[in-house]
C-alpha cells in the first residue's frame, strides 16, 4: 500500500513553481482526492515528454497542495469554477503562500517591504542568504520571482528590477480567503485581519478592506460589522465550510446561507439584490442565483502602498 505524500518535509525550500500546470490540472483532484492518486493522475497527464520529468513535477504539485494525504479540494473546486482568470490566479496565489512558508516569508518581508520604485535582484539574494544557508539562493530567487510574476504580484519594467503590485482583490478571492483563514464562526478585529502575515503577503491595500467587508456582509459572508471608538470588528456568518459552499456551490446538496437552517424554499429566494456603489458589484436586474453577482469584470486597481500595507 502506498504511503500518502505530504508537503511537511519541504516547508523551508521552494523550487519549480509549476503555476500553469497547477491551474490546468488541480481541478482533477476532485476525481483523485488523495495525494497519491492525484500524483498518479499527473504523471499520466502532464505535458512534459520525459517520464522522470513528469514524475518529479507530479510530486511537487501533489505534495504542495496536500495535507496528511488529502488534496486541498477547496482549491480544486475554486479552480474548476473560476479557471485561469484573475480570480483563479488570486486564489491560487493565496494557496501558494499558505503552502510554502518560505514564499510567504519572501512576500511579507521582502516584496511587501519594497519601495514603490521597486528593488533589484541583489536585494532579494541578500534577503534569502541568511534564510537558506548553503542552499542555492539563485534557484529559490528565480522560483519566487517567477511565481510572483505569473500570479500578478510583481512586474519587472527592466532587467532584474522588481516592482510590487498592490491591488484590491476580486470579491470572490476575498471571500475565499475569509473562509480559509477563519474556518469557524468568529468575531475578528479589522486591524487584526489586515495585520495577518498572509494578508500582507497578498499585497492588498489595507484601505480597501473595510469596503470589501461591507460587500461581504451584503452577500451573506459577514453577519455584522461594528465600529465603536477604537474597535472596528466584523462577525463571520457561520462556518468556513458553509461560506465556501455559498461561494463555490454545494457539491452534494442545495446551498443555504451560512448559519441558516435548511428550508423548503428554493435557492433563488436566498439571492440578495445587487448592490450599487460598492466598487465591486454592479447594479442591474436580479441575477439567476447569488453567484451571478461574482464576476471577473472589475478592472484591476492599483492600490497605493502605505506603511500598513
Residues 274 and 193 occupy one common structural domain: yes
Domain-located, residue 88: no
- Are residues 279 and 194 part of one domain? yes
Burial (CB < 10 A; 0-12, 13-18, 19+), residue 226, is exposed
**Has this prediction a pTM greater than 0.75?**
yes
Both 133 and 200 in one domain: the answer is: no
Within a domain: 24: yes
Query: Is residue 306, in this structure, part of any structural domain at all?
Result: no
Alpha carbon distance 261, 266 (integer Å) = 13
Q: How many CB atoms lie within 10 A of CB 259?
A: 14
Cα torsion at 170, 175, 177, 183 (round to 10°)? 180
Check residue 308 and give its pLDDT: 41
Say if 92 falls within a structural domain.
no
> Do residues 79 and 110 share a domain?
no
CA distance 167 to 303: 5
Indicate whether 206 and 282 sit together in one domain. Answer: yes
Residue 216 dihedral angles phi and psi, to the nearest 5°: -60, -35
Residue 302, in any domain of the structure = no
- pLDDT score of 167: 97
Q: Does 190 reside within a domain? A: yes
Does 190 lie in the same domain as 242? yes
Q: Are residues 289 and 179 in the same domain?
A: yes
C-alpha count within 13 angstroms, C-beta hemisphere, residue 245: 17
How many domains are contained in the chain?
A: 3
The DSSP H or E segment spanning 213 is: helix 209-218
Question: Do 177 and 286 fall within a single domain?
Answer: yes
**Shared domain check, 194 and 247:** yes
Residue finishing a domain among 38, 53, 83: 83
In angstroms, what CA-CA distances link 124 with 68, 143, 163, 287?
32, 12, 12, 47
Q: What is the pLDDT of residue 11?
A: 52
- Residues 175 and 289 reside in one and the same domain: yes
Boundaries of domain holding 107 = 100-164
Cell 469557524, residue located: 184
- What pLDDT is attached to residue 201? 98
Q: Largest Cα–Cα distance of the chain, in whole Å?
A: 63
pLDDT tens by residue, the chain, 309 residues = 344 444 443 456 798 999 999 999 999 999 999 999 999 999 999 999 999 999 999 999 999 999 999 999 999 999 999 999 999 999 999 999 999 999 999 999 999 999 999 999 999 999 999 989 777 899 999 999 999 999 999 999 998 899 999 999 999 999 999 999 999 999 999 999 999 999 999 999 999 999 999 999 999 999 999 988 778 999 999 999 999 999 998 655 433 444 444 333 333 333 333 333 333 333 333 333 333 433 444 444 444 444 443
Is 282 part of a structural domain of the chain?
yes
In a domain, 143, yes or no: yes
**Which pLDDT value is given to residue 191?**
94
Q: Are residues 160 and 106 both part of a single domain?
A: yes
Pair (33, 60) in one structural domain: yes
CATH code, 219: 1.10.10
Amino acid at each position: 500500500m502506498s504511503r500518502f505524500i505530504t508537503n511537511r518535509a519541504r516547508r523551508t525550500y521552494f523550487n519549480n513553481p509549476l503555476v500553469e500546470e497547477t491551474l490546468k490540472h488541480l481541478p482533477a483532484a476532485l476525481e483523485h482526492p488523495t495525494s497519491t492518486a492525484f500524483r498518479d493522475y499527473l504523471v499520466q497527464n502532464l505535458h512534459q515528454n520525459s517520464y522522470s520529468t513528469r514524475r518529479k513535477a507530479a510530486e511537487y504539485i501533489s505534495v504542495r497542495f496536500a495535507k496528511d494525504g488529502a488534496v486541498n479540494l477547496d482549491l480544486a473546486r475554486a479552480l474548476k469554477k473560476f479557471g485561469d482568470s484573475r480570480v483563479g490566479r488570486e486564489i491560487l496565489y493565496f494557496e501558494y503562500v499558505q503552502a510554502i512558508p518560505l514564499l510567504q516569508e519572501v512576500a511579507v518581508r521582502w516584496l511587501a517591504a519594497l519601495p514603490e520604485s521597486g528593488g533589484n535582484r541583489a536585494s532579494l539574494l541578500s534577503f534569502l542568504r541568511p534564510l537558506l544557508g548553503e542552499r542555492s539562493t539563485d534557484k529559490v530567487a528565480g522560483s519566487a520571482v517567477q511565481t510572483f510574476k505569473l500570479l500578478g504580484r510583481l512586474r519587472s519594467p527592466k532587467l532584474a528590477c522588481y516592482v510590487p503590485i498592490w491591488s484590491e482583490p476580486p470579491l470572490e478571492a476575498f471571500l475565499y480567503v475569509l473562509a480559509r483563514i477563519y474556518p469557524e464562526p468568529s468575531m475578528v478585529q479589522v486591524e487584526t485581519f489586515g495585520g495577518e502575515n498572509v494578508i500582507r503577503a497578498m499585497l492588498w491595500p489595507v484601505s480597501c478592506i473595510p469596503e470589501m467587508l461591507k460587500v461581504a456582509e451584503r452577500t451573506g459572508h459577514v453577519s455584522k460589522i461594528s465600529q465603536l471608538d477604537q474597535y472596528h470588528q466584523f462577525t463571520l456568518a457561520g462556518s468556513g465550510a458553509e461560506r465556501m459552499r455559498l461561494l463555490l456551490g454545494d457539491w452534494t446538496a442545495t446551498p443555504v446561507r451560512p448559519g441558516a437552517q435548511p428550508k423548503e424554499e428554493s435557492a433563488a429566494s436566498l439571492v440578495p439584490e445587487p448592490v450599487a456603489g460598492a466598487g465591486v458589484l454592479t447594479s442591474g436586474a436580479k441575477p439567476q442565483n447569488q453567484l451571478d453577482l461574482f464576476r471577473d469584470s472589475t478592472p484591476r486597481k492599483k492600490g497605493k502602498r502605505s506603511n500598513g500595507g
